[in-house]
């Protein structure tokens, strides 16, 4: 099976991910879903270390609820403790009544974890 082709054997899914300078892991948010599980699979086939998260920690992933107010701190701690150097967000949902909250959570959590002091609620600007 060629990991650079789609499940149907057609269009390529792209070149291998670039190796980070420090050989760090790739964090896959939503790593047990349809898209995220495929990303984790491709990374594994290419010997790229990865860390996968889900809201409830199923399938051997790390439990991380991105809608939780403490998510930015937990995300930063996770990245530091696991040597993460890149993040892929495949977290999301549709037709749940919480779509906006859930689908915007990865960006808010990442901005809160790694953005400027203003993004994290400090500085002179309003909190995110």
> Which of 73, 17, 93 has its CA nearest to residue 50?
17
Which residues, including other chains, have CB under 8 Å from residue 28's CB and lie 6 or more apart? Answer: 36, 39, 40, 43, 50, 51, 52, 53, 87, 88, 90
Contact 69, 120 (CB under 8 A): no
Span 6-47, pLDDT tens digits: 455 554 555 555 555 467 899 999 999 999 999 999 999 999
Which residues, including other chains, have CB under 8 Å from residue 66's CB and lie 6 or more apart? Answer: 29, 55, 75, 91, 102, 105, 106, 108, 109
pLDDT at 65 over 50: yes
pLDDT band per the 50, 70, 90 thresholds, residue 95: confident
Environment class of residue 107 by beta-carbon count within 10 Å: exposed (0-12), middle (13-18) or buried (19+)? middle
Integer Rg of the chain from CA: 16
């Amino acid at each position: 099976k060629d990991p650079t082709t789609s499940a149907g054997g057609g269009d390529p899914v792209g070149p291998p991910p670039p190796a980070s300078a420090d050989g760090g892991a790739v964090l896959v948010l939503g790593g047990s879903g349809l898209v995220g599980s495929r990303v984790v699979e491709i990374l594994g086939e290419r010997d790229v270390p990865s860390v996968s998260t889900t809201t409830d920690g199923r399938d051997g992933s790390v439990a991380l609820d991105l809608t939780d107010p403490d998510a930015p701190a937990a995300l930063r701690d996770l990245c530091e403790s696991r040597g993460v150097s890149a993040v892929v967000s495949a977290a999301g949902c549709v037709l749940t009544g919480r779509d906006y909250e859930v689908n915007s959570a990865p960006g808010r959590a990442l901005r809160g974890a790694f953005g400027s002091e203003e993004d994290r609620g400090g500085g002179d600007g309003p909190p995110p």
